[in-house]
Every structure is written in structure tokens, then in C-alpha cells.
């Protein structure tokens, strides 16, 4: 990795240890606060939903300048607030799109699932995410 630290986390933990799922109900307006406390830029990506950045580093983005996106870069030390409307029931991954930040030491979870910088948006009433999803598979 050219000297890059080979192990990345969300809230200091990986996979299931990161707090499991972020639970939502269909129709919720979900707001997430993302702070990059690492020394590398990350490309955070949401599956199943378009997200809107509403502020960066405490500066509100005017509504007319907001866009629906699925991926955003967050630099070291940056703080981003984003929103999305929960209207696509299921289990959806929110993760860094830099492969070795998500795979951590080039290992992956069950069936190739990412276990590093990963959280799952879980809708109430959707099947639970199997614990094996986050287990190291080598």
C-alpha cells in the first residue's frame, strides 16, 4: 500500500463490531454525520439510496446547490453531514470505495463481503444481516 496503514475502521471498529446496523424505518429522513479522523482521504459510497450533502465542515450548503449523489470524498479532518430518505427497504451497505480500506489487510468477509470501513443500513422488518457476513473468510 505504499506505506498506507493497512487497517481502516468506522468508529474505531470493523464489521459487526462497528455497532452492527444503522436501523431505519421506511419513510425516515436519515441524517448522518461523518468525520474523517484518519490520515487519508476516503470515497464514501451509499448503496440503494441517493444521498445529499447538507453541510461540510460546519458550513451549510444552500438548498439550490445540493445534489443527489451516491459517493463523496471526505478529506482528512473533514466533517460532512448528509441526508437521505429511507424509501428502499432491505439491507444496504455504506462503505469506503477504496478497496483496501474496505477489505482491511486484503482479507474479506463471508462471500467476499467488505468488513473494513463498512456499515449497513437496515430497514425495520427486513431480514437480519447474518453474523457470518462479517466473519473473516480469509
CB of 106 to Cu ion, least distance (A): 14
Q: Contacts with Cu ion: how many residues (CB under 5 A)?
A: 4
Strand partners for 109: 136
Q: Is 51 in the site for Cu ion (CB under 5 A)?
A: no
CB of 39 to Cu ion, least distance (A): 11
Q: Is 101 in the site for Cu ion (CB under 5 A)?
A: yes
CB of 88 to Cu ion, least distance (A): 24
Instruction: Measure the CA–CA gap between 66 and 16, rounded to whole angstroms.
Output: 32
Q: Is 95 in the site for Cu ion (CB under 5 A)?
A: no
What b/e readout covers 71-98, taking b as 16+ CB neighbours within 10 angstroms?
Answer: ebebeeebebbbebebeeeebbbbbbbb
Amino acid at each position: 500500500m505504499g506505506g498506507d496503514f493497512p487497517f481502516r475502521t468506522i468508529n474505531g471498529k470493523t464489521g459487526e463490531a462497528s455497532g452492527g446496523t444503522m436501523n431505519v424505518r421506511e419513510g425516515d429522513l436519515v441524517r448522518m454525520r461523518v468525520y474523517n479522523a484518519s490520515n487519508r482521504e476516503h470515497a464514501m459510497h451509499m448503496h440503494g439510496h441517493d444521498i445529499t450533502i447538507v453541510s461540510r465542515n460546519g458550513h451549510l450548503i444552500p438548498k439550490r446547490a445540493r445534489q443527489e449523489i451516491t459517493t463523496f470524498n471526505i478529506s482528512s479532518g473533514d466533517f460532512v453531514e448528509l441526508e437521505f430518505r429511507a424509501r428502499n427497504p432491505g439491507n444496504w451497505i455504506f462503505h469506503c470505495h477504496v478497496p483496501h480500506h474496505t477489505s482491511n489487510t486484503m482479507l474479506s468477509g463471508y462471500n467476499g463481503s467488505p468488513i473494513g470501513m463498512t456499515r449497513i443500513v437496515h430497514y425495520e422488518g427486513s431480514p437480519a444481516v447474518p453474523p457470518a457476513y462479517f466473519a473473516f473468510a480469509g
